[in-house]
A and B are shown apart, each in its own frame.
Chain A
Amino acid sequence: MTTGTIIALVGAALATILAGIGSAYGVRITGQATAGVCAEKPELFGKLLVIEALPGTQGIYGFLTSVLIMLRIGLLGGSPAELTLAQGWSFFAAAMPVTIVGIISAIYQGKTAVSAIHMAAKDPSTSAKGITMAAMVETYAILSLLVSVLLLFGIPV
């Protein structure tokens, strides 16, 4: 295995690790907020579940990016390509948008979602508004995923 291939694999690993950490944090705090509200109003669980799950998507985007890198370099087929240093760094760079934006946006989305859950706790009719507010943060995670995917498919192997 070449140094270029190893660098590409580090990029793939970071995409899952960092975006996953962000999502784990985001879902953790929304889960705590939901638990608090449901301790008093268990009937709101259904309405809050969607808001609670929103920060989890960045982890999925990171995972998806990692799998795409593995596919592109032929790792899943059992015979990874012998990448040059430039190709390795290109894959690493392609993973960065979703990695960096993933961790940060998941944390911020978690905080926004917590506020939305608290808003819905007081007035359950505002839960759809809460989903919209938290989903706005998602925009930037989606854009970063898109850029990562476009970059990945633009790298000649």
Chain B
Amino acid sequence: MPQESYPYAVGRVRAVEERLLDGSRWARLRELDEHDAVRYLAEAGYGANAAGSEPEDLIEAELLRAREFVEEVTPDKRLSDLFLLRVDAHNLKVLLKSRLLGAEGGALLLPGGGFEPAALAQAVESGDFSALPAAMQAPLAQAWELAGAKEGGSAPEISALCDRAVFAHAFSVLKGARGQSGAELRAYFVVQVDFLNVLSVVRARRLGYTEKELAPMLLSGGSHAAQELQAALAAEGRELAGLLAKGPAAEAIAAALEGASGADATEVERRMDRELLRLARERKYESFSMGPIVGYLLAREAEAKALRVFFAARRAGVEPAAPDLYV
């Protein structure tokens, strides 16, 4: 049950932070093969109550536990729910794309979001999004129309509309959030939108999109104007960083675009994850803000991503990259 005290919430977070995989645990993990790594994680209490013994079962169970924990301790559910929107966006994409393809996507829905999967499924089934926040309704209605169209329905466009819906909701909540926590969280979401827009530009360049094709993929609320992002489509490789390195994450964006591999989507994604984790890490020692609470959730999500990469690398027989750690 949510409660009101930041000292209480941060106290609980501090006490459970030691369950995060730290440098020594990662070092041990990297010495093990897949089977032993799963056993090591299970013995360390990672993914307790998992439905199965596959790595993904453990990861999903631990993520769900972290999300439920944050739901339980948060002093401001409206703010902490913004960090569960990633799950809601996933569920909305699954449901709307299932409608587009005429397939059944129920098995792919994830628990632990801000909205019950059943409620989202019902909204998508009926096309009535009035039970969802006002800022989400228009983009989702548009995505629903697209998903129902016999021809012209585009999965990437549906994905972009779902992202637009969740970010519109996030910014509308943050507009009303007062104090330090509100300002810090706003900066976090601005950085995320900036990176996602840069990512859209990089992918659009690869796919040879026109400005008109790129426009629906862009999110609002970031540091770039839509025209700036569209103009970047035609820019020379070296000019790209100069055009897109803007806003609070300008340096990280520039570094991502100037990397050895040039404008590479994977590199942009990697830099985005690192920058978002750095922002979370900056606030981890505060005692009276949302920083450590959402930081814990983001750390769990980053850890899950790193574990997926680790197990994929093990299966491919290659050495996994060292993860960026929160602790």
Contact = CB atoms under 8 A, between A and B. Distances in A.
Contacts of B285: 115
- Chain A facing B: main interface SS: helix
B256 interface: no
Interface of A: 29-30, 32-37, 39-41, 44, 111, 114-115, 117-119, 121-122
B314 interface: no
B8 A36 contact: yes
Interface in B257-313: 285, 287-288
B295 to A, nearest CB: 13
B7 interface: yes
B18 A122 contact: yes
Contact of B12 (A30, A40, A44, A111): A40
B287 A40 contact: no
Given A111-B288, A114-B288, A32 B11 contact: yes
22 contacts: A32-B5, A32-B7, A32-B11, A34-B11, A36-B5, A36-B10, A36-B11, A36-B12, A39-B12, A39-B15, A40-B15, A44-B15, A111-B287, A111-B288, A114-B7, A114-B287, A115-B285, A118-B7, A118-B11, A118-B287, A119-B14, A121-B14
A122 B22 CA distance: 13
A117 B11 contact: yes
B8 A35 contact: yes
Given A114-B7, A118-B10, A33 B15 contact: no
Contacts of B5: 29, 32, 36
A37 B15 contact: yes
A35 B11 CA distance: 8
Nearest to B18: A122
A36 B74 CA distance: 12
Contact of B14 (A29, A32, A37): A37
A45 to B, nearest CB: 12
Interface of B: 5, 7-18, 73, 285, 287-288
A33 B8 contact: yes
A118 B163 CA distance: 36
A115 B18 CA distance: 17
Nearest to B12: A36
B14 A115 contact: no
A33 B11 contact: yes
Nearest to B10: A118
B7 A36 contact: yes
A33 B7 contact: yes
Contacts of B8: 32-33, 35-36, 39
A40 B7 contact: no
Contacts of A39: 8, 11-12, 15
A30 B10 CA distance: 12
A33 B285 CA distance: 14
B11 to A, nearest CB: 3
A111 B5 CA distance: 13
A16 B153 CA distance: 72
A115 B288 CA distance: 9
A121 B292 CA distance: 13
A132 B8 CA distance: 22
A131 B155 CA distance: 58
Interface centre among A30, A34, A118 (most CB of B within 10 A): A118
B287 A115 contact: yes
A25 to B, nearest CB: 12
Residue from A30, A34, A37, A111 having most chain B Cβ neighbours under 10 A: A37
The CB with the most chain A CB atoms within 10 A, among B7, B9, B13, B14, is that of B7
A130 B127 CA distance: 56
Contacts of B11: 32-37, 39, 117-118, 121
Nearest to A36: B11
B9 A122 contact: no
Contacts of B12: 36-37, 39-40
B18 A33 contact: no
Contacts of A115: 285, 287
Contacts of A118: 7, 10-11, 14, 287
A121 B18 CA distance: 9
B17 A33 contact: no
Contact of A36 (B15, B18, B288): B15
Contacts of A30: 7
What 7 A-B pairs come out closest when comparing CB atoms?
A36-B11, A40-B15, A33-B7, A36-B8, A121-B14, A37-B11, A32-B8
